[in-house]
Amino acid sequence: MIKKLQTEKELEQMARFAKALGHPIRLTILQHLEKQSCCFTGDFVDILPVAQSTVSQHIKELKDAGLIQGEINPPKVKYCINQENWDKAKALFCDFFDVDFTNSSCSI
Amino acid sequence: MIKKLQTEKELEQMARFAKALGHPIRLTILQHLEKQSCCFTGDFVDILPVAQSTVSQHIKELKDAGLIQGEINPPKVKYCINQENWDKAKALFCDFFDVDFTNSSCSI
DNA sequence: ATAATTCATCGTATATTTGCGATAAACTAT
DNA sequence: ATAGTTTATCGCAAATATACGATGAATTAT
């Protein structure tokens, strides 16, 4: 397998993803979304040991990084993984770590 | 393939790694170390568009995160990937993204 | 209409990150 | 000894991140 070099743009995109992944609370949120398709903000507030406003802020950062997306479902908001960017992130990290992900298991 | 859930400790370790990866300069440094076994600090200073002290600081962060290690080679310092922790990071990210890395290409 | 629920945003405080120039430390070469 | 090379660290400034309580916005239930 030939290691594919990442361009500067790709490294910047990956850094943005990595930064978003760089906090335990945000990783926990993502892990829950990976397990069970979608969650409401309140679900995370129940689990996480921080205030509701703090959870909301972490959600916002994941949303800004493009890793999740929200769907308003009054009075709740349902969050899901943004599959397109999630796959992009997966590809960037796999490239970076020199992992062949083309044959990896598909979650569908 | 069954998705392996990551423990809180693992998520914290992964967050520390991700945080270290969350800057383009640090990704560039790591990519260079991946390509060519080892580098001196000066090699990075030549490439990167920031001051020497800034490069040194980014190197320190990668070292603190355990992703690289330095070997004093007076008056220079030679840096290499810390393979043990690199593999640990690779495993954590692959688990997180649900990628099967057990059969991935080995760089040796 | 009023109250309750859910969530984002604001304002604030504190901590961390980022970047720089200047300086110090360690060693080599002259 | 003196000067040069390489790198880390210090001190500083500015920006960003983290966390909280309070408040506001949107909607549902009474």
Q: How confident is the model at residue A51 (pLDDT cuts 50, 70, 90)?
A: very high
The pLDDT score that the predictor gives to residue B73 is: 85
The pLDDT score that the predictor gives to residue A106 is: 46
Name the residue type at position B51. A
Contact between chains at B11 and A28 (C-beta distance less than 8 A): yes
> Domain for residue A105, yes or no?
no
Buried b / exposed e along B24-55 (16+ C-beta atoms within 10 A): bbbbbbbbbbbeeebbebebbeeebeeeeeeb
The pLDDT score that the predictor gives to residue B103 is: 60
- Domain of residue A23: give its range: 8-96
The pLDDT score that the predictor gives to residue B2 is: 57
> Domain for residue B104, yes or no?
no
Q: What is the domain-level CATH number for residue A50?
A: 1.10.10.10
Asked whether residue A107 carries a pLDDT value surpassing 60, the answer given is no
> Domain for residue B75, yes or no?
yes
How many domains in chain A? 1
> Domain for residue B108, yes or no?
no
Asked whether residue A105 carries a pLDDT value surpassing 60, the answer given is no
Let me know if B61 is exposed, middle or buried by CB neighbors in 10 A (0-12, 13-18, 19+).
Answer: middle
The pLDDT score that the predictor gives to residue B75 is: 87
The pLDDT score that the predictor gives to residue B90 is: 96
- Cβ atoms of B25 and A19 within 8 Å: the answer is no
Mean pLDDT by 10 residues, chain B (108 residues): 76 98 98 91 95 98 97 92 96 94 57
Q: Which residue of B has its CA nearest to A107?
A: B98
**Tokens standing for residue B108:** 């040796």
How does pLDDT run across A3-41, given as a tens digit for each residue? Answer: 667 888 999 999 999 999 999 999 999 999 998 879 999
> Domain for residue A65, yes or no?
yes
Q: Which residue is nearest to nucleotide C25 (CA to C1')?
A: B75
> Domain for residue B102, yes or no?
no
Strand C within 7 A of A80 CB: no
Contact between chains at B96 and A31 (C-beta distance less than 8 A): yes
